[in-house]
Amino acid sequence: MSGPLDGVLVVDLSRVVAGPHATQTLGDLGARVVKVEQPGGDETRGWGPPFAGGVSTYYLSCNRNKESIVLDLKDPADLDVLLRLVRRADVLVENFRTGVMDRLGLGFERLLEVNPRLVVMSVTGFGHDGPEGGRPGYDAIVQGEAGLMSVTGPPGLPSKVGMTVADMLAAQNVVAGVLAALYERTKTGRGQVVRTSLLASVVGAHGFQGTRWTVAREVPESLGNDHPSLAPYGTFRCADGMLQIGVANQSIWRRFAPVVGLEPDDPRFAELPDRTRRRPELTAEIEKALAAEPREVWLARFAEAGVPAGSIRSLDEVYAWEQTRSQGLVVTVDHPELGEIELPGPALRFDGHRREHSPPPLLGEHDASIRAWLDEQNTHDETEG
């Protein structure tokens, strides 16, 4: 088996990032994913630079382990091909704006009528209903609207996260929703419609920043790389650059303080509230000590003392890091136009399953094979009938 979802067929009507990243993950888990693209293809095929040999690296990031078929859903013949796929499918993922599926003749009631066992996963920007349910929602817009930018970046300068984190959070919720619905189907025999949004995914990830307001009525503000509730916890300068330190409890504090020449029981910093109140003074004391040695020396000392600390790596350093590669976080695929390329790998590993990854498909690369497979399945059904 190629993964725990071997035998599951996913029809992927999604585009851009959230839906495609989710279906890529389902493909990583062993599902067969058929990417249905409108004429012209997923718009990320044209997003760049950078391009590699004319291929968008953006598109390459979230479309491995898929087959591509081009269907004009306004064409009755192509719509029929899609419905034939739906009849065979276990999951359909879509991220059209609210109402588009109905206008295409693919309303959720219609899909479940065609295939009562189908799990339909719908992803929107701000939710499918409510006063702003029809708004388009790209990642950067939702990062602002959902409060993420207000707690990110230097004080007074709202900043977005440097990756499409709203999309990625939504993608993980899509996967969770699909897996839960598939599990429930084993008991009920029926599929259902599952919904999530970029807004829901970011708000659902607020965590302690959310309860600062909902419970304590304190509006969080951005603190740069500092932690609002912990100190020392953030980025610190040393002789040749910067490093991250995370002193998350008293036990770690008592191990950390002597390494940088501080007394753990110094009344200025003895308890967490003291350290948080006196953060600038504490940071100055720490950086005065750190200035004496380069980063690698300090990382070794903190490791020996059992203090969480780390480098701040550029992405080229991350992908060259042996720890990254040891976790299967870089995969090699043979692309039909680019040859052998490396892609960021899946976050999950299963003992007993070894997935051979396929490259992101060319536009319509599998048109003929998918249509032939559908014809074979129809012939088989007629024979069995």
Note if 102 is an active site residue: no
How remote is the C-alpha of 215 from its chain's centroid? Answer: 28
How far apart CA 330 and CA 324 sit, in angstroms, is: 7
Computed over its alpha carbons, how large is the radius of gyration of the chain?
Answer: 25
- Residue whose tokens read 């839960």: 180
How far apart CA 41 and CA 52 sit, in angstroms, is: 18
How far apart CA 19 and CA 175 sit, in angstroms, is: 9
SS3 139: helix
- In angstroms, the Cα distances linking 318 to 92, 139, 329, 332 are 34, 24, 10, 16
Amino acid letter at 192? Q
- Is the four-CA dihedral 99, 104, 105, 107 of positive or negative sign? negative
SS3 193: strand
12, 42, 139, 167: the catalytic one is: 167
Amino acid letter at 241? G
DSSP for 311-379 reads ----HHHHHH-HHHHHTT-EEEEEETTTEEEEEE--S---TT------PPPPTTTTHHHHHHHHHHHHH
SS3 123: strand
- Determine contact, residues 28/350, Cβ cutoff 8 Å: no
Strand ordering across the sheet containing 309-310: 233-238, 241-246, 309-310
Give the catalytic positions in this structure. Answer: 167
